[in-house]
Amino acid sequence: MTWISASFKGLTTQAKNKVHAGTTTRIGGVSMDDYKGLNLASHVGDAINLVNQNRAIISKYLNLPSAPIWLNQTHTNKIVELPRTLTQADEFDASFTKQKQLVCAVMTADCVPIVITDIHARFVVTIHAGWRGLANGIVANSVAMLINQTDSDISEYTAWIGPAIGASAFEVGKEVKDIFQQKFVSSESYFIPNGNQKYLADLPGLVELALKAEGISYVVQSNLCTYSDPKLFYSYRRDGQTGRMATFAWLSS
């Protein structure tokens, strides 16, 4: 299984044929050793020629309509509208487009990939949400830009939360819990005490909380944990030196 398709609530019949989204796995590909499989990241120490081969493999497998627009992700809270020419100095952790045949992309290896569209598939957005980006407002900022730049009503937005580190594996300190409690009053239940001022945090659950706080009621969880499945997923928390999966989203006619 090289691809896990996204699932959205509320899509019209026509929209189901227009929106394409999902997350890659590490299965397949030509990378070796720590990156064994379908590593799609060029910034993690893998041989660039192998990364390029992996990108060609997934492009052919998915019949992508264009080359994905790769972002320089640095756990910011910034989103960019595509098309736009990006430079190495540009730092974004989300992108969206209303243009057909343009592929938005984010890379992850434990952080949460999010795809948002609306029930008519009039736009797509991909978001990279680690705990820092989530706490700093990457979801809120992305939704604010969508409201400003699209004709869709927030009541018609629908979101998918892709594979990410699960609640049983993501240990954080009290300072992280406190940050989220200040941001979301109802976040207490997403942190389970694990001794010595440590907590097991439900990061995908916190993402869903953030999406619903912005008014998005249609939310689907993949319920797939990157940490617990080394055959299927890369995991930075588990392995340290490792590859990255990619989450793609695009619109067809």
Q: Match 């929209």 to its residue by tokens.
A: 15
In whole angstroms, what is the distance from residue 43 CA to residue 53 CA?
15
Specify if 229 maps to a domain.
yes
Specify if 86 maps to a domain.
yes
Specify if 41 maps to a domain.
yes
CA-wise closest residue to 201 among 155, 245, 170, 237: 170
Give the domain extent around 15: 3-162+218-251
CATH at residue 29: 3.60.140.10
pLDDT in tens, 111-139: 999 999 999 999 999 999 999 999 999 99
Distances (CA, A) of 198 to 172, 173, 192: 6, 5, 9
In whole angstroms, what is the distance from residue 46 CA to residue 11 CA?
38
Specify if 225 maps to a domain.
yes
In whole angstroms, what is the distance from residue 141 CA to residue 214 CA?
10
Specify if 116 maps to a domain.
yes
Q: DSSP letter for 186, please.
A: G
127 and 83 in contact (C-beta within 8 Å)? Answer: no
pLDDT in tens, 7-49: 999 999 999 999 999 999 999 999 999 999 999 999 999 999 9
pLDDT of residue 160: 98
How many structural domains does the chain have? 1
Tokens representing 139 are: 């979801």
Instruction: Give me the phi and psi of 17, to 5 degrees please.
Output: -90, -10
Specify if 28 maps to a domain.
yes
pLDDT of residue 91: 97
Specify if 132 maps to a domain.
yes
Specify if 187 maps to a domain.
no
